[in-house]
Structure formats: C-alpha cells, structure tokens
Amino acid sequence: MSIELNARIPEGPIERKWERAKFEMKLVNPANKRKHSVIVVGSGLAGASAAATMSELGYRVKCFCFQDSPRRAHSIAAQGGINAAKNYQNDGDSVFRLFYDTVKGGDFRAREANVYRLAEISVQIIDQAVAQGVPFAREYGGLLDNRSFGGAQVSRTFYARGQTGQQLLLGAYQALEKEINAGGVTMFPRTEMLDLVVVDGRARGIITRNLVTGAVESHAADAVVLASGGYGNVFFLSTNAKGSNCTAIWRAHKRGAAFANPCYTQIHPTCIPVSGDHQSKLTLMSESLRNDGRVWVPKQKGDQRPPNQIPVEERDYYLERRYPSFGNLVPRDVASRNAKEQCDSGHGVGPGGYGVYLDFRDAISRLGEARIRERYGNLFEMYQRITDEDPYHVPMRIYPAVHYTMGGLWVDYNLMSTIPGLHVIGEANFSDHGANRLGASALMQGLADGYFVIPLTIGNYLAQGGLTPVTEEHPAFAVARAGVEARTARLLATRGSRTVDSFHRELGQLMWNKCGMARTAEGLREALDEIPRLREQYWRDVNVPGSGDSLNQSLEKAGRVADHFELAELMCRDALHREESCGGHFRVEHQTPDGEALRDDEAFAYVAAWEHRGDDAEPVLHREPLAFEQVHLTQRSYK
C-alpha cells in the first residue's frame, strides 16, 4: 500500500503552533505510562536524552547501542558548540532570527514549523544543560560566554572549549544512568538493531544481534524510537566514527518508512586533509576556529613557499574578499565549495594541492597566545599530534570532508515516520536543516528532540489506543529473525577474495567523485550504473572471516556496507532527479554566474520522500510541498 505524507502541522500563527500542539495532544496518565514500553535505538544525545526523559515520565524503556557504553556515542565528537537564542550578548538575536538563519542556511528546503519549534526550544536546552552541570565556557564575570558560527551575524553559540559534544553527552548520560539504576531503563550495550518488526501496520519491535555472543534476539514494545545518527560513512572517508552506519534507518526504510532527501549531505570545510590511502577516517577541526582563524591561499598558482614566507599582499583571503558581510563565517556549504574551487584552480597547498590555510597569526597578535590557547587549546593539540605542525606558529591546513547528513527518514511534526509507532529523532530524521545544516545546530536538534519533543509526542501516539498485546512470540518476529539469520549466513558463506573494507573504500571513492561536493547528471548516471555492478560483485566476492556466533567485527562491517550500497544508489537517484542546486546539493549545471547554488523553487520546493517497493523494483517518489509563510524565498546571499 502506498504511503501518505501528512506532516500534521498545527494550525495558527507559527509562534503558537508548538503550544497549540502540546495542548491538543492526547495524554497518558502517570499510572498508565507504566503499562507502556518503548524501544530506543541509539544512545547519543538524542537517544540518551529521550530514553532518560521517557523513563522519568514512567514509561518502561529499553535502550540499545552498539558501543560498549553510551558515553562512546558519536555525539561525543562534536566540538564547537550548541546554538540557542538567548541573546545574552544583546546583539540582536531572537527566536525568530535563529529560525530565519536556520531556514536560510538550509537554502529554503526545510519545513518552517519544525524549524521554528527548534529555535523556540533552544533556550530551554541551555537551562537544562546548566542544571545538569555541563561546564559551558563563562566570561570573566561568571556569565555564560558565546561565540559565532557560520551563517549567523550574532554570537549565539554556547560552548565548552572544543569538547561541547562530550560535555553535553555526559550530562545526558548521567540522566540515563540514573534511570538505569532506578530500573526504568534497561540498557543493551554491544547490541545492534538489524531489522524492524511491523505488526498490523505498526512498529512493534526490533531484531538485534548481540555483538559479543552473536545471539540474534527479539524485542517487543508499544513504540520504537530510532536515534541512530546519520549515514555519512557511505563515503568511507568522513569525520564520523567508524562504527556509525545507516543500518537501523535503512532496515526501517525497507519495512515502509519513507526516506527523505537522501542526497542532502554536508561537507564540512575545516577538516585535516587526506594524507594517503592508508586512512580509514578523517578528522574534524571545529568550525569555531573560523571565529579567529583567517582562511587564505597563495595568489600565485603552485606556490610552494612555506606559508610564513608568503607576504600578506601575496595572499588571497578569498572568503573575506567574496563575502565581506560574513567573511570567514559563511555557511559550511559555501566555505566548502570555495575551498574546492581554489584547489581545483591550482591555488591549493600541501601534498597534492588539497588544502587551504587557516591562519591564527592575526588573532594571536591581537589577543595573545594565552587567550587562543584557552579557547581552542585541545583542538590545536589534536592538530599538532596528527600533523606534527604547531598551529600557534604555522597556519593549519584544512580541506572539506563529509561530516553530516541532512537527509534521513521522513517524519511528521510529531517526529513519527510513515510507519505508525516508529518515531525518528536527531540526525536519523530529515526534519530541521533543509539542504545544509548550520554549525552548532546538530546538538541543538538532538537535545530538543530527545528532552522536549518526543516525550510528549510519543504519549500522544500511545494515548490514541488501538494497540493489541504483542510479545516476542508473535509470528512477525520469527519471520524477521529468520531473515536476519539468513542474511548473516549468506555473508559468512561467500568466502570471496576481497575484504569488506576494500569494497567500502571503492564505493566511497565512487560516491565522493560522483555524488560529493559537485554533481553532474552525467556523473550521477555513471554512478547509478556502477553501484549495482559493484554491489553484485560484493555479494559474490566479499570475504568475511570467522563465524556468526561470537565477536566478529568483519561481520558487523559486512552487514553495514551491504546497506551502504543500497542507500548510495538511492542518494544518487535523489541527486539526479533534483535538477537544481541547493545547500549541500550542488549540481554543476545549476549555478549562478558567480558560482553560487541556483535553486528552482517552482519545480523543487518540496521534500523528496522515497518509498521502498522491493529489492528488484524502483523506489517511488512522494513529494511534500514546502510552504514559506514567514520567510520569503530569495536567492541566498552572504555577501
């Protein structure tokens, strides 16, 4: 049966929609909450905060993560900060300005109502985190400090040096551990979701594999929440943790959850450049560094002189030149495309010319090394350990890399997918960032969804009734479990000649070249020809050593890469159909005379939600029109 996209956006003025929605929601009384069970897949910021908060409300929660501890979720890697419209700097910020900046930053491809709610809740997140003891940076007088991030002309980003994600995750982790100790949350570490179980059209459980013992197990519940993160590792090289994967959301997609805007991937402009084929991942250098660092390249092509020997007049501070209003703090997609353009034209620096300079000389001269060390000390130390270059005395070399995915499972205003009972939060859904996420907004969305949205909206779903008792003995669980076991057996039985990583690297290179920073119709068609051939070869020639009844990391990777192949094809299909450029989706055929992204609002102002119709059938495209009532559609400009 075909899916229906009903966004369920409340009526009324945008500033009243969330309040109205909360008032109109059906409620579950405290005694009845204890009768309901909820599964949460993922224990990063979104998952941990959701599991802890729902348990505090009285729901019986099972929380799953493939790491050995929730503290190792990839949220811990976030560095620069978290946005909130507190206006502590008295510089003109407001909830509406954060809303506007986010819609504009996403190149007008996000749902207004969801974005406004995010901006509205942002102020509560900071209060929540401070109450938990998150050690945000403070000014000399003790007030919370702020810094700027790309795409904004105000300072609204709260931060804890370069460890903001870690500190916020520890806050959510403490809340989660409190509920585990109280018995409200049962934690399943080292456990990976491998399928979603749908009973009578509703999400009623999951199939998992214990990554230590290999046991395939069933878990039933009244509702399922996916908080499993993004799919940037499709590209092999990314700033994501190596374990980050698309399996949870992809298996849900194959069970009927629409996948929205899969081609919207974010390339972060400040990462340590690739140093060789030996690398398995890339390292992020926080966007916060662009507060004080200046980006430049030599004006002379192929200039091999050490950076400190190149005079100022022979340097091109190209972001400041092209975008005088925002300078080095343009959004990530703009900064990334400009860096690629400089390198492609022969102005790049470092090995192979794949790098631009991020220079702190002027900031150190103005503020002193001690102040810069206080702001970015751990980031500078990390850079020096990796490159053996001292950024206090030599400019950093940076180059764009895959970092985040704005696409994800389609959700309505209540964060429920097209499968009733399946809710999706954080980076795993598509809802808030359009075609480009602004820096410091991922932590904001994860915690908004987990602490403040899903605990209310899941109650609204459960209170509507209609849930029949379902246990792990239901036939649907046996069917799903048999499918997981058969797939595992097939991977182990292939015994081909190539490793999982060799296939993954080849897929990643193909995706970077054909569906990366710059995309063409010709390149995307080539990818759509090559990916199925490579996938067929994978299932014929991959070698997965070991067995399935014990710890086997090759088997873990094999299943994830198999899902990457299928998702990669959908990403290219989505990018090919979208004949425009917007945010992180840059089609070379569609650009302004000065090289900026050129949207086609008449034809493409919609969310592209893809429905899976079977492994041998083409996916079906559904469209959710985007209405812009508060922010007028204009050509995005940061000049």
Catalytic site residues?
A: 332
Give the strand pairing for 60-64 and 37-41.
Answer: parallel
Q: What is the dihedral of CA 436, 438, 444, 449, to 10 degrees?
A: -10
What is the residue type of 277? D
Residue 360 to residues 139, 355, 463, 465, Cα–Cα distance (Å): 22, 16, 56, 59
DSSP, collapsed to helix, strand or coil, labels residue 290 as: helix
Burial of 149 (0-12, 13-18, 19+ CB in 10 A): buried
Beta bridge partners, 625, equal 606
CA Rg value for the chain:
24
The set of residues, in sequence order, having a beta carbon less than 8 Å from that of 618 and lying 6+ positions away, is none
Which candidate, 343, 289, 282, places its Cα nearest to that of 318?
343
272 DSSP 8-state letter = P
Q: Is 622 in a helix, a strand, or coil? A: strand
Contact residues for 360 (Cβ-Cβ < 8 A; gap 6+): 289, 292, 293, 294, 372, 391, 392, 395, 396
Strands (E), 511-567: none
Which is it for the CA torsion 414, 419, 422, 425, positive or negative?
Answer: negative
Q: What is the 3-state secondary structure (H, E, C) of 163-222?
A: CHHHHHHHHHHHHHHHHHHHCCEEEECCEEEEEEEEECCEEEEEEEEECCCCCEEEEECC
Rounded-to-integer distance, Cα 233 and Cα 427, Å: 13
Q: Which two tokens stand for residue 465?
A: 């009734």
Sheet of strand 620-625: strand arrangement? 408-409, 259-260, 606-611, 620-625
Token pair for residue 104? 């504009």
CB 423 within 8 A of CB 411: yes
Report in angstroms the alpha-carbon separations of 106 from 25, 193, 210.
29, 31, 38
Quickly count: other Cβ atoms within 10 Å of residue 536's Cβ.
11
Give the rounded distance of the alpha carbon of 479 from its chain centre.
31
Of 113, 32, 38, 160, residue with least CA distance to 443:
160
Instruction: Provide φ and ψ at 521, rounded to 5°.
Output: -60, -40
* 239-to-272, 338, 383, 426, 513 alpha-carbon distances in Å: 10, 20, 14, 17, 17
Closest by CA position to 243, among listed 74, 492, 48, 402: 74
Q: How far is CA 589 from the centre of its chain?
A: 27
